[in-house]
Chain A
Amino acid sequence: MTAGRAPAGHLVVEARGLAMAYGGVDVLHGVDLTVRRGEVFALLGPNGAGKTTTVEILEGFRRRSAGEVTVLGADPERGDDAWRGRVGLVLQSWRDHRRWRVGELLTHFASYHPDPRDPAELLALVGLVEQVGQRVERLSGGQRRRLDVALGIVGRPELLFLDEPTTGFDPRARHAFHRLVERLAREEGVTVLLTTHDLAEAERLADRIALLVGGRVRACGTPSELARRAAARAEVRWRAEDGTFRGERTDDPSRLVWDLHRNARGPIAELEVRRPTLEDTYLRMVHREETAVADEEVPA
């Protein structure tokens, strides 16, 4: 199976119209995603947006209600051992093998794979050389997650899933983890699909971001594309002649300001032009979704 590696640029993940319903409640409403070989792809969204559900479907751990999914050329629901070996996973909730020693555990999991990485080199890569003889339960949160990454890539996977990898990290641990992900992607050529609710993390790590809110992909593109799109509609605010504040959203703020000046035949009081950042757009979308959900929950 490993002989069937797709050429660079080929799609590693392809999902069309992915839908998921639990007990009559739709969690995903037709998600479309494509992840290209070698890129770091972030699935960004607030808690409850459907990120984990989406990823679990792609990992082959959950059955979708509808839609077409191909991961590394196969339907994840029918992924066999060879397919499993090409996918690496890092979940947020793993606390397994607590009594094993770090080096012993990594060596053990290397033995499941036909062509594993060298455990000693891997420990150096994730910065756990000193912990080799330590019990897993004694590791700090950041060390444990780095060990999870080492376990996730010991079999040389082509695709690595990172589910909310830095939740609960302090800034230093987060920074070290980001550098590790960057190294994996840039130097090792691993395709990474990570979920996060942290926009800064997605902007820093990802080549492309899909914004998942309320079970739908609201936007998808490179961080700069998204930022441009978000900034396209600027907000213009000023104090009108009657003393009240006015505001207007526009694609062409310069034209609006020009018109205002011409109409007023002079300066405009407290004029302000504000281009929204990606963060503003993200927060607005999340807020809109949350109010919509809250409205639905209010009985008629």
Chain B
Amino acid sequence: MTRRAGGGNGRGGRRHWRAGLRRGGIELRQLLRGPRELAGHLTNVLVALLLAVSIDGTVDGTEVPSAHLVVVGFAAYLLFQIGVINLPQILVTEREEGTLLRLRATPGGIPAYLIAKSLLVVAMAVGTLALLLASTALLATGPTPRGAGGWLTLLWVTTLGLLAVVPLGAAIGAVLPNPREALALLMLPAMGLLLTSGAMFPSSVLPDPVQRVAAAFPLKWMAQGLRSALLPDAARAAEPAGSWELPMVALVLTTWAVLGFLLAVPLLRRAARRESGSRLAARRGGAAHSGALPA
């Protein structure tokens, strides 16, 4: 927002914050009342619960139940998914429907949109994580944070993890062509990372090159950070490095956060600038021809 003379900006700025927060609140309420979306998020928690009760045995060389490793890895994956799959899908859909264009045509609309989306993503992440950990802990003796240090680690890994994947997701959402292709393009790499990042089983069983590729992406480090917060210290014997590598977790996630911001800002700006009525109409025409949209 550019500064304007006459002191009007302070009032306008506050108005945009209020509009953004209210918008986030309304969108969150719609999410909670939308049966499809809510079912999707609850299914994730249910899957985690099933994993927690059905997986037997302990992680090799430790006393830690394998189920705990999987539940924590799944929690990390869900955070990752909110950033790089759910968020881009929302962005692409709203771009296509004209939401972004309408906000662009509204004074202060784009800042309010970003504020609302941040609120929505944080609420989704915290809600999913809390529901998952609470339900597995109550119903299946799942993992819980280890003391104050564990809570602190949980907090910063979650925050930094979101900062690493949300701007990345925003950048992806700004460039993907349409919501139908978006899901197909995103699911495969996300699944690949889920299997190779040590989220579901210790990645040390995988070939070295695969481990190296997975280590370049945030998911491995989010999962590792969450394990350090939620599993007993002895469990680090199962880590590839034999330790939690928390400084490395912080470093990789921060790097992704910075990279994501550098990518997302110009790409989002470009996406917003490129939106116009005729582009909207052209896409609608294409969608109508492919039969993907209801008439």
Question: Of B18, B102, B275, which is in contact with the most chain A CB atoms at under 10 Å from its CB?
Answer: B102
A258 sits at the interface (CB 8 A): no
7 new A-B contacts at CB < 8 Å, known A81-B1, A111-B18, A151-B102: A1-B4, A80-B2, A94-B97, A94-B102, A98-B97, A112-B107, A113-B107
* Complex-state Cα separation, A118 to B97, whole angstroms: 26
Report which of B23, B107, B280 forms a contact with A108, defined as CB distance below 8 A.
B23
Stretch at the interface among A34-42, A51-59, A229-237: A51-59
Give the residue name and chain of the A residue nearest to B2 (CB): A80
Report which of A84, A99, A109 forms a contact with B30, defined as CB distance below 8 A.
A99
Do the beta carbons of A84 and B280 come within 8 Å of each other? no
B16 sits at the interface (CB 8 A): yes
* Nearest Cβ on chain A to B192's Cβ, whole angstroms: 33
B: interface residue count bin: 35 or more
0/1 string, B267-287, CB within 8 A of A gives 1? 000000001111011001000
Question: Of B12, B104, B276, which is in contact with the most chain A CB atoms at under 10 Å from its CB?
Answer: B276
Contacts of A85 in B (CB 8 A): 107
Do the beta carbons of A52 and B99 come within 8 Å of each other? no
User: In chain A between 116 and 163, which residues have their CB closer than 8 angstroms to a CB of chain B?
Assistant: 151, 155, 163
Can you give 8 A-B contacts (C-beta < 8 A)?
Answer: A61-B101, A61-B104, A80-B2, A81-B12, A84-B105, A89-B105, A96-B94, A96-B102
Question: Of A87, A94, A114, which is in contact with the most chain B CB atoms at under 10 Å from its CB?
Answer: A94
Give the residue name and chain of the B residue nearest to A62 (CB): B276
A95 sits at the interface (CB 8 A): yes
Contacts of A155 in B (CB 8 A): 106-107
Give the residue name and chain of the A residue nearest to B31 (CB): A99
Q: Tally A-B pairs: CB < 8 A.
A: 94
| Given contacts A81-B108, A97-B99, A52 and B278 within 8 Å (CB-CB) | yes
0/1 string, B14-36, CB within 8 A of A gives 1? 01101100110010001000100
* Complex-state Cα separation, A114 to B19, whole angstroms: 12
B98 sits at the interface (CB 8 A): yes
B289 sits at the interface (CB 8 A): no
Do the beta carbons of A95 and B107 come within 8 Å of each other? no
Do the beta carbons of B277 and A56 come within 8 Å of each other? yes
Do the beta carbons of B19 and A108 come within 8 Å of each other? yes
* Complex-state Cα separation, A146 to B23, whole angstroms: 22
A93 sits at the interface (CB 8 A): yes
0/1 string, B64-104, CB within 8 A of A gives 1? 00000000000000000000000000000010011101101
A176 sits at the interface (CB 8 A): no
* Nearest Cβ on chain A to B148's Cβ, whole angstroms: 41
B112 sits at the interface (CB 8 A): yes
Do the beta carbons of A109 and B106 come within 8 Å of each other? yes
B109 sits at the interface (CB 8 A): yes
* Nearest Cβ on chain B to A72's Cβ, whole angstroms: 13
* Complex-state Cα separation, A222 to B78, whole angstroms: 62
* Number of residues on chain A facing chain B (CB within 8 A): 35
Looking at chain B's contact residues, the main secondary structure is helix
Contacts of B94 in A (CB 8 A): 96
Contacts of A59 in B (CB 8 A): 105, 276
* Nearest Cβ on chain B to A76's Cβ, whole angstroms: 12
Do the beta carbons of A96 and B106 come within 8 Å of each other? no
Do the beta carbons of A112 and B19 come within 8 Å of each other? yes
* Complex-state Cα separation, A94 to B101, whole angstroms: 9
A291 sits at the interface (CB 8 A): no
Do the beta carbons of A52 and B98 come within 8 Å of each other? no
Do the beta carbons of A56 and B278 come within 8 Å of each other? yes
Do the beta carbons of B108 and A112 come within 8 Å of each other? yes
* Complex-state Cα separation, A183 to B97, whole angstroms: 29
Give the residue name and chain of the A residue nearest to B281 (CB): A93
Do the beta carbons of A94 and B280 come within 8 Å of each other? yes
Do the beta carbons of B281 and A56 come within 8 Å of each other? no
Do the beta carbons of B4 and A82 come within 8 Å of each other? yes
A104 sits at the interface (CB 8 A): yes
* Complex-state Cα separation, A205 to B22, whole angstroms: 38
User: In chain A between 220 and 262, which residues have their CB closer than 8 angstroms to a CB of chain B?
Assistant: none
Contacts of A55 in B (CB 8 A): 277
0/1 string, B103-144, CB within 8 A of A gives 1? 011111100100000000000000000000000000000000
* Nearest Cβ on chain B to A189's Cβ, whole angstroms: 21
Report which of B34, B97, B107 forms a contact with A81, defined as CB distance below 8 A.
B107
0/1 string, A147-191, CB within 8 A of B gives 1? 000010001000000010000000000000000000000000000
Contacts of B26 in A (CB 8 A): 100, 104, 108
Report which of A52, A80, A97 forms a contact with B277, defined as CB distance below 8 A.
A52
Task: Give the 7 A-B CB pairs with smallest separation, nearest first.
Answer: A91-B277, A81-B107, A96-B99, A93-B280, A61-B276, A96-B98, A85-B107
Contacts of A93 in B (CB 8 A): 98, 277, 280-281, 284
* Complex-state Cα separation, A39 to B163, whole angstroms: 50
* Nearest Cβ on chain B to A82's Cβ, whole angstroms: 7
* Complex-state Cα separation, A111 to B1, whole angstroms: 17
* Complex-state Cα separation, A59 to B280, whole angstroms: 15
Report which of B15, B107, B275, B277 forms a contact with A82, defined as CB distance below 8 A.
B107
